[in-house]
């Protein structure tokens, strides 16, 4: 049971949602945007979050688009992991989303909710980093479109009153050779020790990781090392691991040494497999 009382609003447009946020914020309601709601509900039950008002964005049509229009795939922030998986319109995103939680919870978790989650893993972000996605944001300053690496850099870079409306991905990225691998301590559906999404673009391997640092990331220095064909593969992988953007965690889920061991094996397999332009592997 949620332990705090709140007002509930369901606007019909992004502009109306932002207007509501401004009005409610000015009266001290500390409003929250609500998509799938799994995190608000779970954190509210534990008294880790509270709000005087909730703005439900599920009534905004633009947040529910899942279609190819012109040169882009458009995915609304309110589209669930289940919808993405069942459509298979972006196979790598479908694979990553299918391992975020069990099927029941995937029916509630939205793409925008996963990206903006306080849980550090944000595994649905990884394919978007590889695909140079654009993020459409609504906020008090109007709507804007930014590259995903500007919206997320170690943490979500949204300003007060802003929320994600849609994600746009150029069509060629939907069909590039790709790999998704997740390694966990025990169960397949749980937080990762290491999750890697990889994609071959113009004969170069791109990788994005979750669990390797305290935030998900795509690292160009790591990719540079992995694609340095002048070196033996083992040396390339070791150099790539040394180029991670932050320390590898050492916690109850797994030691840093164990994570490094898993990462080395996975990166070695990925570079080998994506040497084949037709590679498409799921584990």
**73 shares a domain with 27:** no
Residue 276: band (very low, low, confident or very high) from pLDDT cuts 50, 70, 90: very low
**196 shares a domain with 244:** yes
Predicted confidence (pLDDT) at residue 42 exceeds the cutoff of 90: no
Residue 216 in domain: yes
| CATH code, 250 | 3.30.390.50
- Which has the higher per-residue pLDDT, 2 or 60? 60
Alpha helices in 99-164 (DSSP H): 103-106, 111-115, 125-130, 148-151
Residue 145 in domain: yes
**98 shares a domain with 47:** no
Q: Please work out, in degrees rounded to the nearest 5, the angle formed at the alpha carbon of residue 127 by the alpha carbons of 187 and 176.
A: 115
Across 83-92, average pLDDT: 95
- Count Cβ atoms below 10 Å from residue 11 Cβ, excluding itself: 18
| CATH code, 158 | 3.30.465.10
**222 shares a domain with 276:** yes
Residue ending a domain, among 42, 59, 76, is 59
**115 shares a domain with 12:** no
pLDDT attached to residue 185:
78
Residue 187: band (very low, low, confident or very high) from pLDDT cuts 50, 70, 90: low
- Phi and psi torsions of 213, nearest 5°: -130, 180
Rounded Cα distance, 41 and 52, in Å:
14
Task: Scan for tokens 């939680």, then name that residue.
Answer: 101
**181 shares a domain with 169:** no
pLDDT attached to residue 280:
42
pTM of the model: 0.90
Domain that holds residue 275: 176-282
Residue ending a domain, among 139, 173, 207, is 173
Provide the β-strand partners of residue 194: 183
pLDDT attached to residue 109:
86
**105 shares a domain with 74:** yes
Residue ending a domain, among 173, 188, 204, is 173
Predicted confidence (pLDDT) at residue 214 exceeds the cutoff of 60: yes
DSSP state, residue 187: -
**263 shares a domain with 218:** yes
DSSP state, residue 37: -
Residue 2 in domain: no
**97 shares a domain with 77:** yes
Residue 14 in domain: yes
Measured CA to CA in angstroms, residue 116 lies from 3, 36, 110, 129 at distances of 23, 11, 10, 15
Longest Cα–Cα distance in the chain:
62
| CATH code, 11 | 3.30.43.10
Task: Scan for tokens 């990206």, then name that residue.
Answer: 115
259 HSE (CA, 13 A, CB side): 24
Number of domains into which the chain is organized: 3
Rounded Cα distance, 65 and 160, in Å:
24
Residue 190 in domain: yes
**43 shares a domain with 16:** yes
Predicted confidence (pLDDT) at residue 64 exceeds the cutoff of 80: yes
Rounded Cα distance, 126 and 209, in Å:
7
Rounded Cα distance, 92 and 176, in Å:
9
Residues above pLDDT 70, as percent of the chain:
86
- Phi and psi torsions of 228, nearest 5°: -80, 85
Across 22-26, average pLDDT: 95
Residue 23 in domain: yes
**201 shares a domain with 129:** no
Across 122-145, average pLDDT: 97
Residue 1 in domain: no
**89 shares a domain with 22:** no
Residue 41: band (very low, low, confident or very high) from pLDDT cuts 50, 70, 90: low
Q: Please work out, in degrees rounded to the nearest 5, the angle formed at the alpha carbon of residue 119 by the alpha carbons of 53 and 267.
A: 150
Rounded Cα distance, 36 and 123, in Å:
16
Helix (H) or strand (E) holding 210: strand 204-210
Residue 118 in domain: yes
């Amino acid at each position: 049971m949620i332990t705090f009382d709140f007002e509930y609003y369901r606007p019909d447009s992004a502009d109306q949602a932002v207007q509501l946020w401004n009005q409610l914020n000015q009266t001290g309601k500390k409003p929250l945007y609500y998509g799938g709601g799994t995190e608000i509900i779970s954190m509210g039950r534990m008294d880790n979050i509270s709000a005087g008002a909730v703005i439900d964005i599920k009534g905004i049509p633009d947040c529910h688009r899942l279609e190819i229009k012109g040169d882009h795939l458009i995915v609304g922030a309110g589209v669930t992991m289940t919808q993405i998986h069942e459509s298979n319109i972006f196979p790598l995103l479908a694979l990553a989303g299918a391992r975020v939680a069990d099927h029941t919870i995937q029916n509630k978790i939205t793409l925008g909710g996963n990206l903006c989650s306080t849980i550090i893993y944000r595994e649905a972000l990884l394919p978007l980093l590889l695909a140079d996605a654009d993020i459409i944001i609504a906020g008090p300053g109007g709507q804007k479109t930014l590259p995903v690496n500007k919206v997320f850099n170690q943490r979500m870079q949204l300003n007060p009153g802003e929320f994600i409306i849609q994600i746009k991905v150029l069509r060629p990225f939907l069909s590039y050779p790709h790999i998704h691998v997740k390694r966990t301590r025990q169960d397949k559906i749980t937080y990762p020790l290491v999750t890697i999404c990889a994609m071959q673009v113009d004969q170069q391997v791109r990788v994005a990781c979750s669990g390797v640092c305290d935030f998900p990331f795509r690292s160009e220095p790591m990719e540079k090392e992995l694609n340095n064909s002048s070196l033996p593969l083992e040396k390339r992988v070791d150099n790539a691991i040394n180029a991670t953007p932050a320390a590898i965690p050492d916690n109850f889920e797994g030691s840093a040494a164990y994570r490094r061991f898993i990462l080395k094996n996975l990166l070695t397999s990925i570079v080998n497999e994506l040497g084949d332009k037709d590679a498409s592997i799921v584990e």
